[in-house]
Every structure is written in C-alpha cells, then in structure tokens.
Amino acid sequence: MSLHTLKFITVYSGILSLTVGGEVFELKKWDSIPFQADVSHRYLNLSKVETTLSMVIYYPKAETL
C-alpha cells in the first residue's frame, strides 16, 4: 500500500467494527468513513449475519503528492 492511499467504506447491511490506528469505529447500515490506508487497520463483523459493504481505494498520482 503506497503512502497517502485512502480507503472509503460504506456499509450496506450488518455492523462493521473498523479499527484504524488504534481508534475503533462502529459502522451500521448506510454509515460511511474515509481513512488513510497506510495506517494499521482491521475489520470485524459484529453481526450474527453477513455484513456487506463497498470499499473504494484511491491511489493518488505521484505528481499530486
């Protein structure tokens, strides 16, 4: 993962626990969050059913840094 890479997550169903750099976020249906992808992060399904989400990963061009 390159420096300055961003991730954008939107949850469509279920409950997602997202930990980014030690900070924990609980995301429910239609919640969205952007975060720096080069920071340590993890995902955990808090639902008893499948959690569905969309993830967009943005890699900036070198000349925009």
pLDDT attached to residue 61 = 79
**Domain region containing 26:** 6-60
Residue 65's pLDDT band (boundaries 50, 70, 90)? Answer: low
- What angle is formed at CA 57 by the lines to CA 17 and CA 44, rounded to 5 degrees? 15
Q: Residue 17 has what pLDDT? A: 98
Total number of domains constituting the chain: 1
What sign does the dihedral 28-33-36-37 (CA atoms) show?
A: positive
Which pLDDT score, from 0 to 100, does residue 3 have? 73
Note whether residue 47 is domain-resident.
yes
- Output the average pLDDT for the chain: 92
Inform me whether the pLDDT recorded for 63 exceeds 80.
Answer: no
Residue 40 lies in a domain: yes
Q: Is the pLDDT of residue 1 over 80?
A: no
Position 1 in a domain: no
30, part of any domain: yes
Percentage of residues in the chain having pLDDT higher than 70: 91
- 65 within domain boundaries: no
